[in-house]
Amino acid sequence: MSKAIKGIFNILATPFNQDGAIDFDSLRRLVNFQMEIGAYGLTILGVLGEAAKLHVDERAEVLETVLDTVQGRVPVIVGASHHDLHTCIHIAKSAVHAGATGVMIAPPRLKDPTDEEIIALYSQIAEHVTAPIVVQDFPPVNGVIMKPEMLAALAECIPNATYLKLEDPPLMEKIGAIRALTDRFAIFGGLGGMFLLEELGRGAAGTMTGFAFTEILVAIYQAWERGDRREAERIFDLYLPLIRYENQPIINLTIRKDLLRRRGAIAHATLREPFAPIDSGTHDEISWILQRVGIEDPTRKLMF
């Protein structure tokens, strides 16, 4: 397997049965599905994976199932964020010991943390974890704003914390500001792929997102990488209505799980509480948008 952390990583959903228990059969099916449609790697137990709703032992079961299913075919990044630092370190160490390529960690919710406190936090983690650390910059999760200057300093002083999952708008301006300060970060976008073209134009290494049609983002990325900007733009613009609709605030995860169910990747679109349900009108709009962008059979891999 290539250990490269680059390209299109799917942030894996955690499938649940209708009673809310983890659906391990669907989890295995989803892993294979994402690899079949071209994911460069998987990021598990993130916000999309509803990690905050899982017990630590359930996280371990998900990790074991995913790694057993992947069998080294693609790199796996494991979300290890936790409000308790010791638990965070335990999850991260366990993930790396089990065979994960790296770990993704956001700072816990802190009250007005200083730059020095955030760097010290990641330094403590790095004392116990030598595998790559993906710094997650997503203020809606923890309310922590990480300035470009601080992130650049963090990358310079922690050798294995040189990957950044950036979802703090304005995205492209922040990528540019960080790039002007350091070249040590490989930066990944997110937000459902809504700004993938612009992120790549600013020098992003790829994206990590839960968008249900991974092969669309892969086709855009590959066209861009081979220098065919016009083809990358064509694919992006064609599917932008779907990308935009799927990433609606509040209900984006609910829509994504419904799309994964429609694609046959998971048995049920169940979420654990708390979550925002979608109404019948939204279900109808999803079908309408799929028709508008020419996806007649969502169970089939799209070809470009």
CATH of the domain at 54: 3.20.20.70
Let me know if residue 297 belongs to a domain: no
CA distance 263 to 302: 11
CB-CB contact of 83 with 51 (8 Å): no
Query: Looking at the domain assignment, is residue 225 inside a domain?
Result: yes
Does residue 63 fall inside a structural domain? yes
pTM for the structure as a whole: 0.96
On whether residue 43 sits in a domain, the answer given is yes
Q: How many domains does one find in the chain?
A: 1
217 in any annotated domain:
yes
For position 223, what pLDDT does the model report? 98
Which pLDDT does position 4 carry in this prediction?
86
Measured CA to CA, the distance from residue 40 to residue 38 in angstroms comes to: 6
**Distance separating alpha carbons of residues 176 and 71, to the nearest angstrom:** 37
pLDDT recorded at residue 46: 93
Q: Could you give the angle at which helices 148-157 and 115-128 cross, rounded to 10 degrees? A: 30
Query: In terms of DSSP bridges, do strands 76-79 and 206-209 run parallel, antiparallel, or are they unpaired?
Result: unpaired
pLDDT in tens, 117-150: 999 999 999 999 999 999 999 998 889 999 999 9
26 located within any domain: yes
| 113 belongs to a structural domain | yes
Q: Which domain holds residue 134?
A: 7-292
Per-residue CA distances from 264 to 1, 118, 212, 221, 226 (Å): 26, 41, 11, 25, 31
304 falls within a domain = no
Residue 2 has what pLDDT?
Answer: 58
In the chain, which residues have pLDDT < 50?
1
H or E segment to which residue 134 belongs: strand 133-137
